Amino acid sequence: MERFYVTTPIYYINAEPHLGHTYTMVVADTLARFYRAKGVETFVVTGTDEHGDKIAAIAAAHGENPKLYADRMSPLFQQAWQECGFLVDQFVRTTDPRHEQLVQEFLQRVYDNGDIYFSRYAGLYCTGCERFLTEKELVGGNCPDHKRPPEPIEEENYFFRMTRYLPAVQQYFEAHPDAIYPEHYRNEVLAMLASGGIGDLCISRPKTRLDWGIELPFDRRYVCYVWFDALISYVSGLKMRGDDTFHAFWPTAHHVMAKDILKPHAIFWPSMLLALRLPLFRRLLIHGYWVRGEAKMSKSLGNVIRPLDMKQQFGIDTLRYFLLREMAFGQDASFNEDAFAARANADLANGLGNLASRVLSMQQRYFDGQVQPLDPPTAADDDLQGAFAQALVEVPEWTEQLAFHRALEALWRALDHANKYVVDTAPFTLARERQQLPRVGGILHRLLECLYTTATLLAWFLPETSQKIFSLLGVTAPVRLPTSLGWGEHFPIGHRVQPPITLFPRIDLQKEATPRA
Ligand SMILES: [Zn+2]
């Protein structure tokens, strides 16, 4: 049995779900649905990261106990993803006792192997990053991410002997060129490793400074550093379903994330896995940022887009389409309402929605919804079929390569062809003459097949729309992604299809309140 395990980062609960989180979820969901369509068994893990300085500080600012704060925030993520219809097999909360227990077990194992030592440390600590920064990392004396100077702190802490594993990590990424995608992030990681600037990792925080975390099993005066805790969720999420699930899925792990957390995933995590004597993940899939104007979307900038607002206003598939069509995976992309409306109107309302509506209404008008036999094909019929045969090859290929925008482009080329075919063959004109009705029936039958193939290829991109099209056609979706079109085999002669519905209402921004938090 082929398997595919995909994770998103467990999200930090210092803010509500926003567009960046949603994009990562859409990518994980799209991949899981794609591999499912190919008959692969899939498992999806996401969750919430609930420990650390920042959470303790925010909870304190709300006058709340951190656990109560986490209990209030975590469900916002769980519910949002459920309402968006994303596939999630296991949602991990880092305050779940099953997760905490595994983290302690892993800490103990690394400690017993001699890879954790105790040492006095004086360093520059950034509370934003929740870690010590090296002098080299500072820009003008400031943390490059938080734009403020780190605090000098001197304390005794536990350190993970990460340097012992860095050569093996480097070898792994050298031997597996596709283990980090896109490739320039792999080059970035290899450069980081080659620089020799990475030291051992401080993995403890004294409770005198912070007590909101998982206690070190070998020293109760300390709690665990958040990253060491959070990364283990990728294992605990599987183990919560039993060791068999872990053994079955772990070797196929694909971690999807935004580029800002590449280092913990590409340096800390493989070192930890090696120290735990566990196999390494299969791939890290790194995406860019959604920007508005020039700025990254973030709560502090007040330019956040809430996924549930978007869903309510435009439908989840319209949002999915925009995110997948507009961002080349790995690069930044910009979000603005005008581009969103233009894309949705041109491709969804006009391109796909209009085709479905024309075909189904003609089928009603001329044949009472009943499918007619295919007539001998013309050159135009062959071209149409060729366009969809090409889409059937290209769309899965581009999806496999994470080029979702190219996959959708390829499908829409076929849809454009179908819309042009309607104009060129003009069934609405032919239908005026009774003796032409068999030809009209043949044209419409082919167009129903276009919709069938489209729904098949949209199953992982726009699952709701795919289902709607299949139910309009009155047929069930294929169990497996077919390797050939099979046109002429999906509709028995006389089978009745449904009258059209509006799949995608046109978006008029003058009338809509702009979707803004
Ligand atoms: Zn910082």
| Residue range 238-250, pLDDT digits in tens | 999 999 999 999 9
Handedness of CA 487, 489, 490, 491 (dihedral sign): positive
User: In terms of Cα–Cα distance, which of 239, 234, 224 is closest to 257?
Assistant: 234
Of 228, 163, 150, residue with least CA distance to 198: 163
**Burial class of residue 424, CB neighbours in 10 A (0-12, 13-18, 19+):** exposed
Contacts of 18 (CB under 8 A, 6+ apart): 297, 298, 299, 304, 305, 306, 307, 517
Is 51 annotated in the active site?
Answer: no
All residues at 6 or more sequence positions from 496 whose CB lies less than 8 Å from its CB, including other chains: 368, 369, 370, 371, 474
Q: Determine which one of 62, 146, 147, 176 is catalytic.
A: 146
Coil vs helix vs strand at 372: coil
pLDDT category of residue 512 using cuts at 50, 70 and 90: low
Q: If we measure between CA atoms, which residue out of 228, 57, 58 comes closest to residue 157?
A: 228
Q: Which residues contact 362 (CB under 8 A, 6 or more apart)?
A: 427, 428, 431, 440, 444
Q: What is the pTM of this model?
A: 0.93
In sequence order, what are the beta bridge partners of 258?
287
Q: Does domain 336-517 have CATH number 1.10.730.10?
A: yes
Measured in Å, residue 153 CA sits from the centre of ligand 1 at: 14
- In one-letter notation, the amino acid at residue 338 is D
Per-residue pLDDT of 193-208, as tens digits, reads 999 889 999 999 999 8
Assess whether 84 carries a catalytic annotation. Answer: no
Contact (Cβ atoms closer than 8 angstroms) between residue 349 and residue 319: no
| Helix, strand, or coil (residue 101) | helix
CB 225 within 8 Å of CB 201:
yes
Gap between the Cα atoms of 283 and 102, Å rounded: 23
What count of residues does the chain have?
517
Find the 286 Cα to ligand 1 centroid distance in Å.
Answer: 21
Is it true that 3-287 and 336-517 share their CATH fold? no
**Residue 102 predicted with pLDDT over 60:** yes
User: pLDDT by residue (tens digit) across 138-179?
Assistant: 999 999 889 999 999 888 999 999 999 999 999 999 999 999
pLDDT of the residue at 164: 98
> Rounded to 5 degrees, what are φ and ψ at 114?
80, 20
Q: Rounded CA gap, 80 and 68, in Å?
A: 19
- pLDDT score at 294: 57
Cα gap 317→309, rounded to integer Å: 13
Residue 219 φ then ψ, to 5°:
-160, 105
Task: Pull the structure tokens for residue 417.
Answer: 């062809």
What's the gap in Å between 219 CA and the centre of ligand 1?
27
302: pLDDT confidence band, cut at 50, 70 and 90? low
pLDDT-above-90 percentage for the chain: 86
What the block records as the tokens of 227 is 């990253």
The residues facing 283 across adjacent strands are: 254
Query: Residues 505, 349: contact at Cβ < 8 Å?
Result: yes
Q: How far does residue 143's CA lie from ligand 1's centre (Å)?
A: 5
Protein residues within 5 Å, CB atom, of ion ligand 1: 126, 128-129, 143, 145-146
Q: Where are the domains of the chain?
A: 3-287, 336-517
| Catalytic site residue from 207, 259, 263, 296 | 296
Instruction: Give mean pLDDT, residues 368-391.
Output: 98
Beta-carbon-side half-sphere exposure of residue 294 (alpha carbons within 13 Å)? 0
pLDDT of residue 337: 86
What are the residues whose beta carbons fall under 8 Å from the beta carbon of 196, sequence distance 6 or more?
none
Q: Mean pLDDT throughout 300-309?
A: 72
Could you tell me which residues come within 8 angstroms of residue 166 by beta carbon, excluding any fewer than 6 positions away? 193, 198, 267, 271
- 252 in Cβ contact with 5 (< 8 Å): yes
The tokens describing 494, both together, are 């006389």
- CA 130, CA 53: separation in Å to the nearest integer? 7
DSSP letters, 263-303, are HIIIIIHHHHHHHTT-PPPSEEEEE--EEETTEEP-GGGT-
Say what angle helices 53-61 and 66-83 make with each other, to 10 degrees: 100
Band (517; pLDDT cuts 50, 70, 90) = very low
Does residue 143 carry a catalytic annotation?
Answer: yes
CATH superfamily, region 3-287: HUPs (3.40.50.620)
- Cα 307 from Cα 511, distance rounded (Å): 20
Nearest Cα to Cα of residue 8 among 282, 179, 253, 326:
253
Assess contact for 270 and 164: CB atoms under 8 A: no
Is pLDDT above 80 for 372?
yes
Cα of 263 from ligand 1 centre, angstroms: 14
pLDDT in tens, 33-66: 999 999 999 999 999 999 998 899 999 998 999 9
Cα(102) to centroid(ligand 1), Å: 28
Query: What is the average pLDDT across 449-465?
Result: 98
Of 45, 114, 112, nearest to 77 (Cα)? 45
